[in-house]
Structure 1
Amino acid sequence: MDRGIYFDQDNRVRILDVDKFKASQALQDNCAKFVSNMQQLHDSVAKYVAAIDQQVERIEYEKLKAVGLRNRVAAMQEERRHKQQELQQQLNEKQEELDRLLIEEQSLQKVRTTQESTTAKLLDASSTGMF
């Protein structure tokens, strides 16, 4: 490497050759631009990650809401099934009571018919003087 003192076009004293100084200056400018671009990229990535995190939070909230709704629907279906069973049991009990009352009515009708027949025979017998 050549050592010495150099002068640039403005007649300033330089330790580096003018071409090497310009190359060094260009490298420094390019490095500054690169660092600036990297900072912009970092800022953009940070904004993107923040936006993604916000979307993740919204998605998680909606998932929890959907799970809650699904659980509520399942509970409503179970409640509806239970209510249907209760109503079916009440219907069966009422049907049994109706059947029992119909049988009782038929029995009472027979008793009534028998009593009316007996009463009619007694009236006929008393009017004909059999007693």
Structure 2
Amino acid sequence: MANIQIFEPGLCCGTGICGVDVDEALVTVSADLDWTRSQGGQVTRFNLAQEPLAFVEDEIAHAFLLTAGEEGLPLTVVDGATVLTGRYPSRAELGKWAGIQAHESAVQPEGSPRLLAMAAPGAALEAEAGCCGGTGGCC
């Protein structure tokens, strides 16, 4: 199985999912990394603010940081090869690199909602109509 490493810019905590203003990309990548691990994939995250030594000790991350700076992060490395820079990998990319045979339903298309409707049939349609049932002028 491939070794996937993600070198991230300085975040407030290990996942970046903290505080009041949470970046949706961090929520998505955290869920995608959990999914990859649950399927047997090997993924390691390194946060520049919390693990700066990892950026010094890893030759690829160190050279990248010297060349592109923190602005170029995140950096994704698979088995010692740089495969992605400047954005987080998608679930499909993680599955591909990890060698996971994903069912089509398990791989979320880019930009699709990550939440599932957990209510009775038709609840999703009501939710789309808004809090006032689509009649305008909110409650």
Q: Compute the TM-score of the two structures, normalised by the length of structure 2.
A: 0.17
Greater share of strand? 2
Greater share of helix? 1
Larger relative contact order (CA 8 Å, sep ≥ 6):
2
